[in-house]
Amino acid sequence: MTKPPLGSTMRIVHPAPNVVGFYDGRIEGVRAWSDEPNWLDDGAYTLGICTYAIVDGPQALVYDTHVSLPHARIVRRTLEAMGVTSIRVVLSHWHDDHIAGNEVFQDCEIIANGLTASALAQNRVAIESGNPPIRPLVLPNSTFDGSLGLMVGSIAVELRQVEIHSHDGTVLFMPDTGLLLAGDTLEDPITYVAEPARLVEHLKDLERMAGWPIDRILPNHGSLQAIEAGGYDKGFITATQAYVSKLLACRDEPDLARQDLKTFGASIFASGAVDYFAPYEPVHRENVAAVLAAGAGQ
């Protein structure tokens, strides 16, 4: 495996008007941090990760600070080269690959919902001593609960709190265009199960999100080609609902639990909403194991 300098394989894309994407990973034979198991490679780089900025004139709103300080510095330099002089940050949730670059934006307003702020504070020691470490962990300095409306120049943005993937999700909706920045609530091809005991609640919020007037969806983990082309349609939500429902069925159907991802998700991939991607096979195995373990404990 080759390991180029952090951030050197980043690709900058423009998936929608006033939106800049900072995509890295999904490069065969390349790891970002080490050959040993670590959150940066196995939870983000190998799967592909994109963070975003909404830009209007001198104002920008950065949605997640990426997987390392070098990545975050590229984000900030790129925005400043575009003429941005005022930056605010929104954190989609508390997981490492979304908050690792916070230090680069410590002089900015860093917005998170109250549950994200609490989770970061409670897990600070583990985050700062992780592999790789995020040290110092810069915490959000502005919080909200439920929802928050913002303006980025003339662009209206709504932050909406959801419980999908993690208990503390924040998605970003642009009501004028119907664009949703989904964080990890939706992931192509399958969700990463972080809180298996809460999957029924996640399904409820997926249903709630499906009712919003969404036109296009940009996830943090997905295909570069799909993101570059403007993102996904609402079939992405349907595909995620189908996968989570099928995961829950594994508790009563042992044969289903033994299937590999390609077999398990065949009907989902056939829909065309998401595409099979082999590096998600281990994610699927972990998902099934987590769901079975959580079911045994109930």
pLDDT at 215: 98
| Token pair of 252 as six digits | 């009563």
Alpha carbons 25 and 22: distance in angstroms, whole number: 10
For the stretch 131-162, pLDDT in tens is 999 999 999 999 999 999 999 999 999 999 99
Q: How confident is the model at residue 1 (pLDDT cuts 50, 70, 90)?
A: confident
The pLDDT of 259-268, averaged and rounded, is 98
Evaluate if residue 298 carries a pLDDT over 80: no
pLDDT at 297: 61
pLDDT at 296: 75
pLDDT at 48: 98
β-sheet bridge partners, residue 51: 22
For the stretch 278-288, pLDDT in tens is 999 999 999 99
For the stretch 157-203, pLDDT in tens is 999 999 999 999 999 999 999 999 999 999 999 999 999 999 999 99
pLDDT at 252: 96
Find where tokens 């959580």 sit. 294
pLDDT at 272: 96
The pLDDT of 98-126, averaged and rounded, is 98
pLDDT at 115: 98
Residue 197: CB atoms within 10 A of its CB come to: 14
- Per-chain mean pLDDT for the chain: 97
Question: To 5 degrees, how large is the angle CA 261–CA 265–CA 271?
Answer: 145
Q: How confident is the model at residue 290 (pLDDT cuts 50, 70, 90)?
A: very high
CATH number of 11-296: 3.60.15.10
Q: What is the percent of the chain where pLDDT is above 70?
A: 99
Question: To 5 degrees, how large is the angle CA 58–CA 175–CA 44?
Answer: 75
Cis, bond preceding 133 (omega within 30 deg of 0): no
Q: What is the percent of the chain where pLDDT is above 90?
A: 98
For the stretch 65-111, pLDDT in tens is 999 999 999 999 999 999 999 999 999 999 999 999 999 999 999 99
Evaluate if residue 30 carries a pLDDT over 70: yes
Domain boundaries, the chain: 11-296
Alpha carbons 108 and 141: distance in angstroms, whole number: 9
pLDDT at 295: 85
Model pTM? 0.97
